[in-house]
Amino acid sequence: MNINNEHGTTVLRRTADYKPPRSIRTWLVGRPLQTADAPHQTIGKLVGLAVFSSDAMSSVAYAPQEMLIILAAAGMGALGISIPLSLAICGLLVILTLSYEQTIHAYPGGGGAYIVARDNLGEIPALTAGAALLTDYILTVSVSISSGVAQLVSAYPALHDYRVWISVAMVLLVMLINLRGVKESGFAFAIPTYFFLVMMFVTVGVGFVRYLAGTLGVVSAPPMDLMMEHEVLQPITLFLILKAFASGTTALTGVEAISNGITAFKTPRSKNAGTTLIMMAVILGTLMFGITFLGHQMGVLPSETETVISQMARTVFDGRGLVYLLALTSTTVILMMAANTAFADFPRLGALMATDGFLPRQLAYRGSRLVYSYGIAALAIIASLLIIVFQASVTRLIPLYAIGVFLSFTLSQSGMAHRWFKSGRLRLGQKLTERGSTLEHDRSWLFKMIVNGFGALCTLVVMIVFAVTKFSNGAWVVVILIPGLAAIFLTIHRHYARLAQKLSLEHYGRTPHVGRHRVILALGGVHRGTLEALRYARTLSDDITAVHVSIDPIESEKIKDKWETWGNGVRLVILESPYRLLIEPMLEYIEELQQHRQPNELITIVVPQFVSKQIFASVLHTHTADTLRNVLLNREGIVITEVPYQVE
């Protein structure tokens, strides 16, 4: 199709017939998808629950244990406090669910805390929320995979020494599955997610039946490793209770994931995402309270060698039989698959921030399977490094975990409270268009503002408690990291802004005419490749100078004689190099030319380049063009051109 615009420019449009060939990549991640296939890659509520809620639901496998670890410092009598603490956590879950339900419908384009803070609180809070969420997603992968491997090690203690490398292998496996696309990864993760839910509800259900029947019993030979560490018991103080509560609130991590990934759902997106959020909250709250309550009734103890789920399952099912192994296997798998929530949301958030210019543009590019491949790979690499550094220890990773989560909770709900305040100030029928949504007057703005404001206050308190109580245990890293990341985002944004200003065509006249075009032909020898380069140079300009750096007088004399025969009258400059340096004399000569460069004069350096079909042949040749390009790249008015000459 031809289109002629008002300036007489002809624009031709055609669709490329090229199709990517089959390769190892195709076998690993699947055949490339066309852009038009994007609407068919969306998911429904049941698959969405597996993709975006596996992190939140799987946290019940370690959150009760982390809460008990803190209470264990005060002795056996303090472990009962876990029950009211779990009820408080469920109450906070209700508040967060109501808040994010509103966010989902207010911002159907997704983005969660970052978009809400950007539109309602400003750039710095938005970048802080973005840094907190990205940190949270990285730690989600590290913690969930490490916790899953801990479940595996509980069942097979012989694997303890290999837990780090098993964890890294699991990260790479989840990365590979996610590179295949949202729809395929969703179906792949749906089976283990629902297998886990069935086994957990069976375990909790049988446990409650036996508790009501009076046949539940207690844990046989409970592990005492952590209890024995506390030779002097701490008193039960408000500080201890708050610290345990903060550790238990790690069960709420992942609640925001659905609000970040709304665009992955089938239409109507907001309705499907909101329904999925409520389903997730009900499941999470039920399991969190059920596991905590039953764990206390059967005398479960926190341990690094055997998890709470393992102790509860072998007590409920009277030993390590088949059902016990199924429960542990499902827990191990879901904890590893929980990393999928981060793999679903980290690339999406990275793409949003990259589009806004706060992260490298590459993160906004979709790969062959319509997923943000660069973001997925970056997440896997960083999470693997964390696992190696912290030796796959959940207890060592947890202090780094929840601060970022609750900071994003606080900023998101504060932003939503401000949004409802703005809504209340609008007249009926009046609209306010913002970057992420359109705001109208809402009759219930006051109630919604109070709900979000109260939620922001609660999560702020939890974040402060977590930061204070876990500061010396490693939380200081995140306290420093999040502002540091926000500063990096601003630096990246300033770079893109400066570049855009430099490249802008506003107030820019026509490209100035090149008054003189001088061509320098780098001469290492006189051969067919040289003559090909000379022929190309003649198409650029008649002002050509061949330059040879002499480190061997005899060889230089041969080159001079050959050039007189084959150079077609082009002048030759021989640069004597007494120290046998090749590049430096050439650079000195070019720099001298540049100093005397006339206005609107262009200097092109033409370098002949051998191209061999043999794989390892490139290491046998000097790469003069690459070296010159790296040195001269920032010089104005200089162009480096390679002229390839193919040889067998």
Question: What is the reported pTM?
Answer: 0.76
Instruction: Please tell me the predicted confidence (pLDDT) of residue 127.
Output: 94
Give the distance, in angstroms, between the CA of residue 585 and the centroid of all CA atoms in the same chain.
Answer: 46
Q: 427 in a domain, yes or no?
A: no
Bridge partners of 516, per DSSP, are 601
Q: What proportion of the chain, given as a percentage, has pLDDT over 70? A: 88
Rounded to whole angstroms, how far apart are CA atoms 534 and 570?
9
Rounded to whole angstroms, how far apart are CA atoms 393 and 384?
13
**pLDDT tens-digit profile of 17-30?**
767 777 676 666 66
> 461 with 520, same domain?
no
Instruction: Please tell me the predicted confidence (pLDDT) of residue 7.
Output: 58
36 compared with 208, residue with greater pLDDT: 208
Q: CA nearest 306: which of 374, 224, 409?
A: 224
Instruction: Please tell me the predicted confidence (pLDDT) of residue 145.
Output: 86
Reported as type and span, the H/E element at residue 168 is helix 163-179
Q: Whole-number mean pLDDT of the chain?
A: 83
Rounded to whole angstroms, how far apart are CA atoms 268 and 177?
26
Rounded to whole angstroms, how far apart are CA atoms 115 and 103?
10
Q: 343 in a domain, yes or no?
A: yes
Number of domains in the chain: 2
> 592 with 622, same domain?
yes
> 487 with 531, same domain?
no
* Single-letter code of the amino acid located at 339: A
Q: How distant, in Å, are the alpha carbons of 39, 78, 255 from that of 81? A: 49, 6, 24
> 235 with 323, same domain?
yes
Instruction: Please tell me the predicted confidence (pLDDT) of residue 375.
Output: 92
Which residues lie below 8 Å from residue 632, measured CB to CB, with a gap of 6+? 587, 590, 605, 638, 640
Complete DSSP assignment for 18-83: --PPP-HHHHHH-S---GGGGGGG-B-HHHHHHHHHHHHHHGGGTHHHHHHHHHGGG-GGGGGGHH
* Mean pLDDT along residues 334-342: 79
Instruction: Please tell me the predicted confidence (pLDDT) of residue 292.
Output: 92
What 3 state SS string does 183-212 have?
A: HHHHHHHHHHHHHHHHHHHHHHHHHHHHHH
Q: CA nearest 305: which of 177, 156, 472, 428?
A: 156
Q: 13 in a domain, yes or no?
A: no
Q: Picking from 170-184, 307-321, 556-570, which range would have the lowest pLDDT averaged per residue?
A: 170-184
Q: Picking from 138-147, 167-176, 284-293, which range would have the lowest pLDDT averaged per residue?
A: 138-147
Q: What proportion of the chain, given as a percentage, has pLDDT over 90? A: 22
Instruction: Please tell me the predicted confidence (pLDDT) of residue 438.
Output: 79
Which residues lie below 8 Å from residue 208, measured CB to CB, with a gap of 6+? 290, 294
Instruction: Please tell me the predicted confidence (pLDDT) of residue 202.
Output: 94
**261, 483 contact by CB (below 8 A):** no
> 453 with 554, same domain?
no
> 476 with 540, same domain?
no
Q: Tokens for 280?
A: 């997730």
Instruction: Please tell me the predicted confidence (pLDDT) of residue 125.
Output: 93
Q: CA nearest 203: which of 278, 102, 296, 309?
A: 309
Domain extent for 76 = 45-420+438-497
Rg over CA atoms, the chain: 32
Annotate 562-581 with b (16+ C-beta within 10 A) or e (fewer): ebeeebeebebebbebeeee
Instruction: Please tell me the predicted confidence (pLDDT) of residue 290.
Output: 93
Q: Picking from 65-74, 181-190, 516-525, which range would have the lowest pLDDT averaged per residue?
A: 181-190
Q: 29 in a domain, yes or no?
A: no
> 335 with 284, same domain?
yes
> 313 with 406, same domain?
yes
pLDDT band at residue 394 using 50, 70 and 90 as cut-offs: confident
**pLDDT tens-digit profile of 551-566?**
888 888 998 999 999 9
Instruction: Please tell me the predicted confidence (pLDDT) of residue 6.
Output: 59
> 534 with 461, same domain?
no
> 456 with 567, same domain?
no
For residue 571, give the CATH number of its domain.
3.40.50
* Mean pLDDT along residues 220-237: 74
Q: 24 in a domain, yes or no?
A: no
Instruction: Please tell me the predicted confidence (pLDDT) of residue 98.
Output: 87
**pLDDT tens-digit profile of 42-93?**
788 888 888 888 878 888 887 888 888 888 888 888 888 989 999 999 998 9
For residue 450, give the CATH number of its domain.
1.20.1740.10
**pLDDT tens-digit profile of 365-384?**
887 776 788 999 999 999 99
> 383 with 255, same domain?
yes
Which residues lie below 8 Å from residue 119, measured CB to CB, with a gap of 6+? 415, 419, 434, 435, 436, 437
Which residues lie below 8 Å from residue 243, measured CB to CB, with a gap of 6+? 70, 465, 469, 470
